[in-house]
Structure 1
Amino acid sequence: MAKQMAYNEETQKAVRRVWDEFKSETGTSQAKAAKALGINQSALSQYLRGEIPLNTDFLAKFAKLTKSDLDSLGITPATVGAMPLELRYTLSGRRLRDTSALVPSPTSFEGCFGIVVDYDDFALPRDSIMIVDETTTIKEYDSVILVSRDDRMINGTIRYTPDGWEVLEPHARGARRFVVRGDDTIYRLGGAFLPERHGRTFEQKPARG
């Protein structure tokens, strides 16, 4: 899954301040807010008191609920400019562990959701997030995600043939063809977020004269 960051005491204070202001302005109870966040009231209370460490999944949902800017929650500079993105599927079809993530972006992800790459033998690294746009018109030769009726994710190029539409999933030895059926769902792939990785630094050697 996408990395869950730890947040400091300043963020905790900011979350409490935003909650107090939101509660005062809207009259929202903890029980109602907890339901909207997808957690129970006890968990929300523990988040607000600092008994459960804050994480990106909670902060993304909390910011959306309270209509707060992420930087108003005191999020560290590394995440300034990040926007909450709903996570809807894993590429393998396995159950998600988180339902949202903070992804660097100058604009909101309205009309978009993410698919988490949760295995290694794929073109993108494990823990990458494929960003899907639900609102964009799909055209022939677009890169798409086909969601089958059993929630299998197929990433490929869509094209039209005399027999109808199909998605070509690339492989080392050619491509696998999937006929688009009436109960399949097709989404246009809009981009991807790659996880930060730390390794050795490559040093370019001077070109020989």
Structure 2
Amino acid sequence: MQQSSWQGIKLVFRKELVVGLRFKAAWAAMLMFSLTTLACVSMALQGGTLEPRLLAALLWVILFFASLAGADRVFADEDTAGTLLALRIYGPSQAVLMGKMLYTFFLMVALAAFITPLFVLLLDVTVTAPGLLTVALLLGCGGIAAAGTLIAALTTGASVHGGLFSILMLPVILPVFLPAISLSAAAFGGGDSAGSYLVGMGLYDLILAVGASLLFDYLWYED
């Protein structure tokens, strides 16, 4: 990739970060959903414990549904503000895609870094393999970022944007979601981890990123 493309990616990422920190809509929605869900679960358990696989599933359900509150806004805000056409004219398609994907990944990693320690603390989770949990979170966030950015572009302008985004997102991210649960369960002491899960998640993340890159030019200029 040429230097100008890297510059474009950095400019798009910086623009998304500045706008996100200024208006904080996506950040607030994701954090409030995560904190509210986590607090409700913690109070419902009343000090009780769950088996590792259920804990892992609960963690990823929180992260996944929280992502729906933020990942779908990467194009919707510009579409609402009427600046999407200007971005199409002046922004190279691949730089826009990668910059927004990188921002979504950063957003998800920040959310996971904030929620996971609270999850471990409030639900009294024993983490026996923190390195494995970290890798699972990074790969899972990468898959959500790639899929979320592409589907957000696909559903831009739809009259039922939020509902359509959620419907399309789940089947696309399922091959990342299920291995992430298994790896997180292993990190919580629920059995041995399978190296094939890590390889599979990494390959699927790569497929999502490449697929998004190939499809995005058509979506960007034909929408």
Q: Same fold (TM over 0.5)?
A: no
Category of TM-score, reference length = shorter chain: under 0.3
Q: Which has the higher strand share?
A: 1
What is the TM-score normalised by the length of structure 2? 0.27
- Higher RCO, 1 vs 2 (CA within 8 Å, ≥6 residues apart): 2
Q: Which has the higher helix share?
A: 2
* Higher alpha-carbon Rg: 1
What is the TM-score normalised by the length of structure 1? 0.28
